[in-house]
Amino acid sequence: GQNFARAFEVTFQTADGGLEFVWNTSWGVSTRLVGGLIMTHSDDNGLICPPRLAQYQVVIVPIYKTDDERATMVDAAQRTRATLLAAGIRVHVDAREGIKPGAKYYEWEGRGVPFRLEIGPRDVAAGTAMLARRTGGKKEPVPMDGLAERLIAEMNRMQIELLENARARREAASIRGATKAQLIQQMEGTGGFIYGGFCGERACEAEIKEQTKATIRVLPDPEFCSPNVPARCLWCDMPSIAEAVWAKAY
Ligand SMILES: [Zn+2]
């Protein structure tokens, strides 16, 4: 609508030279979306940022003991960075002095960087780097040859894995085609998302809220609807006008 535009006097010049308030959508791409990202993709070590969204998709940590080693390893890290950048990968070298590698790992893990490459003297000698994934699993040496292609494939895999895990978690917390009894039981118990038919009546919606504390969170678009959209309201058994998702708001 134009409410926001009126409040903040955001106007545009029309074809005939006049001024009009802009029309804008309300997608709320702001802190709420960031909160959703954090709650969807995180673990006890912090954020796990999906590769496509990550500011840095890869962080490179040079490993060294002496000053001589440091110069060589930072140089190797910078060359690797240039190669990956050229392949369109967002990459950062953490060459900060006076911070132990473990502390750097911990920090970048908390910030959700999907991949970490460790480059030390043994790796350089072997023409490899040590690859660690933010989603877990064992670190493994990967060849410098073809590293960018390998990382792009790894990123695609992680992106899909995170999406599939998030969908599985959502479904595990959802009951589709739920009955009235299931809605009541679920709201008294662990909560979650209840998909069911809705008659569209305010009185029915109010009664559900009063008895279960659940409210309609969304009337899903077709692509998010259940395969078998219920024909009747889960509460009053009147014909359903839409599938609705009920849950408690916190
Ligand atoms: Zn109803």
Q: Do 176 and 194 form a contact (C-beta atoms < 8 A)?
A: no
Using the mean position of ligand 1's atoms as its centre, give its distance from the Cα of residue 224 in Å.
Answer: 21
**205 alpha carbon to ligand 1 midpoint, in Å?**
7
So what's the pLDDT on residue 1? Answer: 84
CA of 36 to the centre of ligand 1 (A): 30
Determine the distance from the C-alpha atom of residue 144 to the mean position of all C-alpha atoms in its chain, rounded to a whole number.
Answer: 29
Cα Rg for the chain, rounded, in angstroms? Answer: 26
The answer to whether residue 35 sits within a structural domain is yes
For the segment 82-138, what is each residue's pLDDT rounded down to a tens digit?
A: 999 999 999 999 999 999 999 999 999 999 999 999 999 999 999 999 999 999 999
Q: For the chain, how many structural domains are there in total?
A: 3
**Residue pair 129/83 in contact by the 8 Å Cβ criterion:** no
Mean pLDDT for all residues in the chain: 95
Q: What's the CA-to-centroid distance between 199 and ligand 1, angstroms?
A: 4
Q: How many A from CA of 226 to the centre of ligand 1?
A: 18
Per residue in 143-162, pLDDT (tens digit) is 999 999 999 999 999 999 99
pLDDT, mean of residues 22-35: 80
Decide if 81 is inside a domain: yes
Tabulate helix, strand, coil % of the chain (nearest 5): 40, 20, 40
Q: Strand, helix or coil at 73?
A: helix
Residues 69 and 152 in one domain: yes
The domain that holds 142 is classified in CATH as: 3.40.50.800
154, 179: one domain: no
Mean pLDDT of 211-222: 95
Say what the ipTM of the complex is.
0.99
Distance of CA 240 from the midpoint of ligand 1 (Å): 7
148 lies in some domain: yes
* Concatenated DSSP letters of 114-156: SEEEEE-HHHHHHTEEEEEETT-S--EEEESTTHHHHHHHHHH
Report how far ligand 1's centroid is from the alpha carbon of 168 (Å): 29
More confident residue, 92 or 229: 92
- Give the residue numbers spanning the domain of 120: 58-169
What's the gap in Å between 232 CA and the centre of ligand 1?
Answer: 8
